[in-house]
Amino acid sequence: MSAFFSKVQTCDVRQLGINPNHWYVAALSSEVTNKPINVVIWHQAIALYRDNTGKIHALEDRCPHRQVKLSHGRVVDSELECAYHGWRFNSSGECAAVPYLAANQKLPTCKIRHYPVKEQDGFIWLFPGNGEPCVEPLGLPEWEHLNYIASVAVINAHAHYSYLIENLMDMYHGHLHQDLQAWAEASLQDIHENDHRVDAHYIAQSYYKIDKIWSISQLFFPNLRKLHPEPLDVSYIYPHWVSSLGKDFKIYCLFCPVSQTQTKAYLVHFTSLNSFWRLHKLPVWFRRFVKNNLFGTAQKLLEGLIIQDVEMIEEEQQGYLHNPHRRNYELNRALVSVQRLMQSQVEHS
């Protein structure tokens, strides 16, 4: 019975849509300027730009005049001007100006969709659902906190988002990263799940212990690392992922599902400086200087992990496309919970 259940789930889940009634990550804050960019969230092309006051706006990336991309255009005051004939659109998506409008002509009443956006914790969060959002974006309190050093890497995988979240929730895949020494010997202890999240608690061996300021050099020099047991907690807080390894590391994976076979995501790694009480007595400007200068220390590690993971999940996707009815044999019960959550979120959206 359970094998049959698992087979059905595995087939269906690769065709799932998303629940659009959540905040997805569209870009890093630093990626959005007054030069518009194009992002795609679940088949919807969106133009993101900053107006002359620095506020972010998100419009459907389509000029209603001739259907070209508005993101080719430029920002004029607070409006987005199409590159082709110079029509301008305000942040509500209404046509606000046509440069060659004759005195006896009215502005066209065409309107394009605008999306709720928020700039928070270093990222641009976008709500692709219809109606007003009744949830908040996932918070990353460590982003501004002076005791955490951040690193960010981008994942671009030609695979359905379910492959990525399953990869992230199945900590037995430490096997794949042996050479990078991220963690080892994971063992699932328990799982909690409800309609919004799955929390899987593992015990694993960690290579790193950040108890001295120079311990951060363990990120660069493997012979400084020593294995020791630590709790490894991973959570699928739909539609994003959060994990912690002991007290020293916290990692987020912020999802931007693009299509049935493409997923973008931001992996954000935080190294905690909480053990250094001496550091916390120093002036704030100095602590900020340390935080800013150590930004990106785990970048190479993240990029190495991503290359290995993306290769695997893209192969899974190809395997599915070539033979969608071939069943997987799954032993990790956390993945059954993850598939259940994805399905129920889409069913109830």
Query: Which of 65, 118, 145, 158 touches ligand FES by CB under 6 A?
Result: 65
State the distance between the two ends of the chain, measured CA to CA, in whole angstroms. Answer: 28
Measured from the Cβ of residue 227, the count of other Cβ atoms closer than 10 Å reads 15
- The 8-class DSSP code of residue 111 comes to B
Residue 84 CB, nearest approach to ligand FES (Å): 4
Task: Write out the two tokens for 65.
Answer: 């005049």
Ramachandran region, residue 55 (left: φ > 0; alpha: ψ -120 to 50; beta: rest): beta
Task: Work out whether 82 is an interface residue with ligand FES (CB under 6 A).
Answer: yes
Residue 81 CB, nearest approach to ligand FES (Å): 8
Residue 85, contacted partner among Fe ion, ligand FES, none, CB below 5-8 A by kind = ligand FES
Mark 44-63 with x for binding to ligand FES (rule: CB under 6 A) and - for no binding.
-------------------x
Is residue 163 classed exposed, middle or buried when 0-12, 13-18 and 19+ CB atoms within 10 A define those classes?
buried
Query: Which of 87, 127, 161, 320 touches ligand FES by CB under 6 A?
Result: 87
Query: Which of 28, 37, 40, 68 touches ligand FES by CB under 6 A?
Result: 68
DSSP string of 40-104? EETTEEEEEEE-TTS-EEEEES--TTT---GGGSEEETTEEEPTTT--EE-TTSBEEE-TT--TT
If residue 335 lies in a helix (H) or strand (E), which one and from where to where? helix 333-347
Residue 82, contacted partner among Fe ion, ligand FES, none, CB below 5-8 A by kind = ligand FES
If residue 311 lies in a helix (H) or strand (E), which one and from where to where? helix 299-322
Residue 27 CB, nearest approach to ligand FES (Å): 23
Residue 262 CB, nearest approach to Fe ion (Å): 19
Q: Applying CB under 6 A, what is the total number of residues that bind ligand FES?
A: 8
Query: Which of 121, 166, 230, 309 touches Fe ion by CB under 5 A?
Result: 309
Task: Work out whether 188 is an interface residue with ligand FES (CB under 6 A).
Answer: no
Residues near Fe ion, by CB under 5 A: 305, 309
Residues near ligand FES, by CB under 6 A: 63, 65-66, 68, 82, 84-85, 87
